[in-house]
């Protein structure tokens, strides 16, 4: 009986708690938000991965909603479609497959400033000959201070 009195006065009964079935998603959301910010910052830097020394010009920037395909010609004359090295004779069939034969697809040609002009014209001629009409040359915008 003494044990029963002691338990009633100050001691608490030990009840087993049911296992918690809820999942705390706060750490998951935190990690996902951090990853989202990282990808938002790095994605624009990864658009074109082939480094070339572009020529400078004062031309205005071309506006458009869709993501253009990029053909890059390096100083050595190597051709890349996006980031994949490709031969000139394989370029047109690959472009037709990627664009699903849409002639209105935007295509940007990036040529190194030290490349032979004829190599750029070979690529432009092949692309134009395949029926693509929205082809543009990419350059670096030259910012000059104008005195007025």
Secondary element (H or E) of residue 97: helix 88-98
26 within some domain:
no
Global confidence as pTM: 0.56
State the residue range of the domain holding 68: 49-141
9 within some domain:
no
38 within some domain:
no
φ, ψ dihedrals at 84, nearest 5°: -105, 125
- Report the largest interatomic distance among the alpha carbons of the chain, rounded to a whole angstrom: 106
86 within some domain:
yes
DSSP 8-41: HHT----PPPPPP-----HHHHHHHHHHHHHHHH
105 within some domain:
yes
Instruction: Measure the CA angle with vertex 91, ends 73 and 86; round to 5°.
Output: 60
112 within some domain:
yes
In tens digits, what is the pLDDT along the chain, a chain of 148 residues? 455 544 555 556 667 777 777 888 888 899 999 999 988 887 766 655 666 666 666 666 656 556 788 899 998 889 999 888 999 999 999 988 888 888 888 888 888 888 888 888 889 889 888 888 888 888 776 555 444 4
Q: Total domain count for the chain? A: 1
Interatomic CA distance for residues 135 and 119, integer angstroms: 16
5 within some domain:
no
28 within some domain:
no
Interatomic CA distance for residues 132 and 138, integer angstroms: 16
Residue 107: burial class (beta carbons within 10 Å; 0-12, 13-18, 19+): buried
> Among candidates 84, 92, 104, which has minimal Cα distance to 129?
92
Q: What CATH number is attached to the domain comprising 119?
A: 3.30.420.270
């Amino acid at each position: 009986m003494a044990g029963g009195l002691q338990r009633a006065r100050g001691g608490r009964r030990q009840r087993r708690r049911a296992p918690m079935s809820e999942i705390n998603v706060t750490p998951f959301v935190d990690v996902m938000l951090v990853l989202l910010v990282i990808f938002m910052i790095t994605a624009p830097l990864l658009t074109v991965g082939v480094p070339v020394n572009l020529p400078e010009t004062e031309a205005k920037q071309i506006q458009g909603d869709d993501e253009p395909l990029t053909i890059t010609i390096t100083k050595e004359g190597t051709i890349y479609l996006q980031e994949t090295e490709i031969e000139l004779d394989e370029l047109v069939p690959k472009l037709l497959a990627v664009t699903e034969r849409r002639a209105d697809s935007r295509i940007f040609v990036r040529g190194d400033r030290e490349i032979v002009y004829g190599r750029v014209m070979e690529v432009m001629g092949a692309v134009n000959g395949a029926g693509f009409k929205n082809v543009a040359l990419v350059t670096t915008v030259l910012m000059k201070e104008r005195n007025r």
